[in-house]
Homo-oligomer: A and B are copies of this chain.
Amino acid sequence: MGNPIPTFPIRPPGSKAVACQNCSLNAFCLPKGLNRDELEQLEDSIQKNVKLGKKDYLFRRADPQNHIYAVKSGAIKTSLSTPEGEEQILGFFLPGDLLGFDAFANDAHTCDARALDDTLLCKLNVDDFNTLMGQLPNLRGQMMRKFGCEIEREQTLSLILGQMNTQARLATFLVSMSRRNQVRGFAPREFALPMPRHDLANYLGMAVETLSRLFSRFQEEGIISVALRQISINDMKRLNALAHHTCH
């Protein structure tokens, strides 16, 4: 029979609103570390099961900040654009991830956020959020942690883009996707990428063709198997080694 480890659900599993306390993602989300009472206060300000269709914008650059968002299912990409329209994708947000922090500098978003697929979100009004930050030290603590994570994420992207050759970039990305699945209790070696090649190539700062060749090469070398967006990692050790082989 084997062990049917669930793979990552890309589509919304159901649409019934679930209390944070029963949400399978609460260990990664804002509620982490809150007691029942605090959770209740937080929950009053959260709007659940907000739907977004594939390619819909969650917010755009210069939009006023109204909410902080948590992904429940589906996936969101954020990106920054130059005046000329050149885009850099900054991150892919999966279930349990928070986004919207970019707007705290000027009460307006500095990047665009767009759904890669049909997506379900929870959203928290920023005014309520500010009030709660004053009242709930635990929430404040968790929020600061999330902020720190976001900064760490961005820093890692800079490290990838600034120091690694293309092969190390892809290897690093695959390892990180694997880990993200693992901590959520999903299969760490088999997963579907939520984004098209074009977006991934952009995120990793390379041409689509280069990315495609890398996938092919990794497959030839038996490190992974690729079928379009479906990935299985066959040799995690070597993948890790490639990920650490940084320099140009």
Contacts and interface: CB of A to CB of B under 8 A. Distances in A.
Contacts of A203: 162
A165 B23 CA distance: 45
Nearest to A83: B244
29 contacts: A80-B156, A80-B159, A82-B163, A83-B244, A84-B244, A84-B246, A86-B246, A88-B162, A88-B163, A90-B155, A101-B147, A102-B152, A103-B148, A104-B147, A104-B148, A104-B151, A105-B152, A106-B145, A110-B151, A110-B155, A130-B140, A134-B137, A134-B140, A147-B147, A151-B151, A154-B155, A158-B161, A162-B205, A163-B205
Contacts of A140: 130, 133-134
Contacts of A104: 144-145, 147-148, 151
B148 A90 contact: no
A225 interface: no
A139 to B, nearest CB: 11
Contacts of A141: 130
A234 to B, nearest CB: 23
A226 to B, nearest CB: 23
Nearest to A153: B154
A113 interface: no
Nearest 3 interchain pairs by C-beta? A105-B148, A104-B148, A154-B154
Contacts of A149: 105
Contacts of A110: 148, 151-152, 155
Given A130-B140, A205-B162, A148 B102 contact: yes
Contact of A151 (B102, B159, B202): B102
A134 B141 CA distance: 11
Given A84-B244, A162-B205, 18 more contacts: A80-B158, A82-B244, A84-B247, A102-B155, A103-B148, A106-B148, A110-B151, A111-B155, A134-B134, A134-B137, A147-B147, A151-B151, A154-B155, A154-B158, A158-B161, A161-B162, A162-B202, A162-B203
Interface string A110-132: 11000000000000000000100
A43 interface: no
Interface in A204-244: 204-205, 244
